[in-house]
Structure 1
Amino acid sequence: MSDLYWDPISPELRDDPYPLWRRLRDEAPVYRNDRLDFYALSRFADIEAAHRDAETFSSNHGTTLETMSPEPMDSAMMIWLDPPRHTTLRKLVSRAFTVRRVSALEDRIREICAELLDPRIGSGGFDFVQDFSAILPPTVISILLGVPRSEREELRQVVDNVFHMEEGVGMANEVSYTALTELGLRLGAHFADRRTNARDDVFTDLVAAEVADEVTGEPRRLTDEELASFAILLFSAGSETVARNLGWAASLLDQHPDQRAELARDPALIPGALEEILRFEPPSPVNARWSTRDITVGDQMIPANSRVILITGSAGRDERQYTNPDVFDIHRKVDLHMTFGYGMHFCLGAALARREGRIGLEETLRRWPDWTVDREATEMLYTSTVRGPLRLPVRV
C-alpha cells in the first residue's frame, strides 16, 4: 500500500496539509481513496476545468464528503443545485448583492469594526477571532438580511454549531443537524413577518420576488424552503469563511512583520494583499462534486457516480500556476484563484467578503500597526471543508 494517503477528515493531516498536497499534485494528481471511496483533484488546471464543467461535476449530491449521497438531494439549498433550478434561484438571490447594496454597507462595516476594536485599545491583548473576526460578518449579514440586534449573538452561536465536527463523521452529526434545523426555523420566521411587515432589507426583497417556474414557466414566489435555505446559506457560509479569512490575515501578517508594516504605511496595498491571503490560506480549501459520467482527467478515468474532491487549497499552491507558491508575498499579482469557486457556483457573496476583509484589516492596522500572536494558545477550526483559526490571542 502506498504511503501517500489523504482525506479531509483525518485529524493528523490538518495542521500543515501543503507538503502532502504537493505530493498529490506531483505523484497522484487524480488521487483515489479506496477506504472512503472518493477521488481527489489537486492541480489548479484540473480544478478550474471541473468548476467550468458543472454538468459533469454536479453539486446536486452534496458538496462535503460526509453529506454526499448517491441520490440527488431533495433540497432548496442553492449550493446543492444544478441547472435549471440553480440558474433560476441564483439570478434572483444575486439581487441581494447588488453593487448599490454592498457599497451602501461600507460605512456601517467600518462602524461595526470601531465598536468591536475600540474597547480593546490599551487592553494589552484580545482574541482576534472570537472578539472581532467571528462577530463582524454575522453582524453585517444580519443588517443585510434584516435580523434585529437582539437575535444576532444567539444566531452566531447556532452557526458555530452548524460547523460542529466529530471525529469519523465530520459534520454529519446530531449537533450540526439540529443547529441547521434551528437556524432555518429562526430565519424562516422573519420571512413570515415580512409578508405583512415589509421593510428595506433582503428578507423583504426575497419574499416579494417572483421567479419563473422551471417546469411551467409561469411566475411564482419562492417557497418557504427556498427562502429559508438561502438565508441559512448566506448566514452560515458567509459568517464562517470571512471569520477564518480575517483570522488568517492576522496570523500571516504576524509571521511577516515587514509586509504588515508596508500595509500599515500604505493601505492601498490591502486589497491585493487580501487576494494573496485568500490564495495562500483559503478558509474553505476543500469542496466536493459528483461525477455524472465517465470523465478522463490527465491519463486517469474517473467513473460515473463517483465522489470527487476538489482541493482548492492545493490549487492555490500549485507551482504550475504560481511562481514560488509557498512564498507569501503581498505584492504578488493574483489574477485568479479558486478560493471563491469558479464558473456557475462562484461565490455570490465574494464582493461582500472582500469588502469586509479590506475594511476589517484597514481598521485593525489603523489602531495597531503591529501585534504578536500567542501561538501556544491558538486553536484551529477544522471541518471537512473549512480550515482556519478558531481562537487567535494577540498581544497589542
Structure 2
Amino acid sequence: MDLHYSPYDFGIQDDPYPVYARLREEAPVYRNDADDIWVLSRHADIAEALRDTARYSSRNGLRIEPAFWGPQAERFFSFVAMDPPKHTRMRGLVSRAFTQRRVQALEPRLREIARGYLKPALDGERFDLMADFAARFPTDVISELVGVPEADRDRVRDLGMAIMYRDEEDTGPVTDLPPQALQAIGELVGYYTQLTIDRAGRRQDDLLSGLLDAADGDDKLSPEEIVGVLILLVGAGIETTMLLLGNAWHAAWKHPEQRAAALGGRIDDWIEETLRYDPPSQSLARTTTEDVELHGVRIPADSRVLLLVGSGNRDPRVFTGPDRFDLDRDTGASLSFGGGRHHCLGANLGRLEARVAFQELAAVVADYEIDDDAAQRVHSTNDRGFASLPTRITARR
C-alpha cells in the first residue's frame, strides 16, 4: 500500500500511529503536494526544528487551515505565532501576569470546581467523562484564571469547541473551516474585547487584570494584544487539558495493570506517560526561512512544515517499546509541551489541572469500564482526543 499522510484524513485522525511508524521509517521527510506540506516524523528532527527558530519560523501560526495560517495567525495564537523580537517582548509581558504564584494559588478553587462536577456525575454507576466533566472542568479553570463571569462560561466553552473541531457532516472544502467556526471566532473576539474594556475600568484579582497591568518600563500590552492572549487560552488552556483528561482515561482503561497503578496513586506518572503515549496536540506547523537539507531531501524556503509531535513521542530511537503504555517509563524526552523559546508557558497549569482532576476521580473511583463502541472522537487537523467517553464505574467503599 502506498504511504499516505494528510492531517485532514478522518481515518488517520482516528488512529495515526501506524501511519506515523511508516513515515519514520520510509519517509522521515514526507511531501504531501495536495495539502502543500512537508512532514517531519522523527523525534530528533522535530526536537531540532523546535529549537531552531531561525530556520523554522512561527510567523504563520501553528495550524495549516487557511483561516488560521498566515499573517492573521497572531489573532488566534498571539505570541506563539511570532518570532523574535516580537515574540520576546510579548512572552515577557505575558509572563509577568501569568506567574507560577498565580497558578498555584488556584489549586483550592480547582478542587472545588472538580468536586462540583464529579459529585453529581458519580452519584450513579454511569457517566460520560467528557460531557459530564472533562469538557467543563478546564473551561471553568481558565475562566476562573482569566476572570470570566460564571454566567458566561458555558458560552466561552461552546464557542471554543465550534472553532476547534469539525464533524463529518460539515460541507465545503475539507481544508476550510465551517461557517459556524468562523462565526464563533468573531463572537469570541467580540466577547473578550468587551470583557477587556470592562476590566480596564474595574480591576480584579485575575489574569486579565494582570495582563492590563503588565509593563516593562513604559511598554504595556495593547487591548488587541490582550484579546489575542485570551483567544490563545481557549485552545492552549481549555482544549488541550480536556483532551488530555480523556486520553489518559482511555489509555489507562486499555491497560488494566497500569490503570490499577494509576488509580492507586501514581497520578503524575499517569499524566506524563499519557502526554507521551497519546498527546492531545499531535502536530505543530512551522515555516522555513531558508532551504533546509534533511535526510537527503531539500525543503525549500517558505515551505509549510508539519512537526508530528505524536510521532516523535513514539520514536523507538528514543523510547523503548514506544507503543506500550508504561507508567514506569522515563518520559523526560517527551515533546508534548514543545521546546525552545516556544516551550508551553502554561505547562505547569495544565499539569496542575490534570493532577487535581485525577486525584479527585481516584478518591472515589476504584475501577471503571469504558463503552468503547459508544465513544466518539473529535476531528481536528492537529489535536487528538474524545468528545464522548461513556463510563461505568466501581465506586470506592
TM bucket normalised to smaller: over 0.9
What one-letter code is carried by the residue in structure 2 that aligns with 1:101? R
Q: Which residue of 2 aligns with 1:40?
A: 39
Letter in 2 for 1:295: V
After superposition, what is the alpha-carbon deviation per residue over 1:234-290, rounded to whole angstroms, capped at 9, x for unaligned? 13321101000000111111112222212232x2x2112211100000101011111
What code does the residue aligned with 2:318 have? Q
Tell me the CA shift for residue 67 of structure 1.
2.9
Give the drift of 1:49: 0.3
Alignment of 1:1-396 (within 5 A): 3-67=2-66, 72-73=71-72, 75-76=74-75, 77-165=78-166, 166=170, 168-170=173-175, 172-211=177-216, 219-265=218-264, 267=265, 269-396=266-393
Cα 1:332/1:377, change in 2 over 3 Å: same
Letter in 1 for 2:283: V
Please give the secondary structure, in 2, of the residue aligned with 1:5. Answer: coil
Distance 1:361 1:130, change over 3 A: same
**Which residue identity is paired with 1:13?**
I
Q: What is the CA–CA distance in structure 1 between the aligned matches of 2:255 and 2:69, rounded to whole Å? A: 45
In the TM superposition, residue 80 of structure 1 has moved relative to its aligned partner by 1.4
The DSSP-based 3-state class of the residue aligned with 2:261 is helix
TM-score (structure 1 length as normaliser): 0.94
Per-residue deviation, 1:97: 3.1
Report SS of the residue matched to 2:275: helix
**Contact 1:170/1:383, CA 8 A, preserved across alignment:** no
Between 1:228-237 and 1:311-320, the stretch displaced more is 228-237
Contact 2:258 2:325 in 1 (8 A): no
* SS of aligned partner of 1:382: coil
- Equivalent residues of 2:97, 2:214 under 8 A apart: no
Q: Alpha-carbon deviation of 1:69?
A: 8.5
- Post-superposition offset of 1:345: 1.1
Contact 1:60-1:73 at 8 Å conserved across structures: no
RMSD: 1.7
Distance 1:170 1:350, change over 3 A: farther
Higher mean Cα deviation, 354-363 or 172-181? 172-181
Q: Unaligned 5+ residue runs, structure 1?
A: 213-218
How far, CA to CA, are the matches of 2:74 and 2:27 in structure 1? 34
Q: Which moved more, 1:316-325 or 1:203-212?
A: 203-212
Q: Is the 8 A contact 1:163 1:171 kept in 2?
A: no
Contact between 2:62 and 2:69, CA under 8 Å: does it hold in 1? no
Aligned-pair CA distance for 1:74? 7.1
Give the 3-state SS of the residue equivalent to 1:395 in structure 2. strand
CA drift of 1:393 comes to 0.7
User: Which structure 2 segments of 5+ residues have no match?
Assistant: none
Q: Distance in 2 between matches of 1:121 and 1:280?
A: 27
Offset, 1:116:
0.7
Partners of 2:145 and 2:390 lie apart in 1 by 29
- TM-score, normalised to structure 2, is 0.93
Using the alignment, how far apart are the partners of 1:285 and 1:274 within structure 2? 16
Paired residue type of 2:304: R
Deviation at 1:120, TM superposition (A): 2.4
Q: Could you tell me whether the CA contact under 8 Å between 2:61 and 2:73 is conserved in 1?
A: no
Q: Distance in 1 between matches of 2:313 and 2:176?
A: 25
**AA aligned opposite 2:52:** D
* Cα gap change, 1:171 to 1:236, in 2 (>3 Å): farther
Rounded to whole Å, the distance in 2 between the matches of 1:311 and 1:143 is 32
- Contact preservation (8 Å) 1:70, 1:305: no
Paired AA for residue 374 in structure 2: A
Q: CA deviation at 1:228?
A: 0.5
Structure 1 stretch displaced more, 44-53 or 229-238: 229-238
Q: Deviations over 1:316-337 (max 9, x none)?
A: 1000110010010011111121
Contact 2:262/2:269 (CA < 8 Å) preserved in 1? no
Would the aligned equivalents of 1:187 and 1:231 in 2 still touch at CA under 8 Å?
Answer: yes
Native 8 Å contact 2:244 2:385 kept in 1: yes
Q: 1:79 to 1:174 in 2, by over 3 A?
A: farther
Percent identity reads 40
Counterpart AA for 2:189:
G
Structure-2 change in CA distance of 1:171 and 1:147 (3 Å): farther
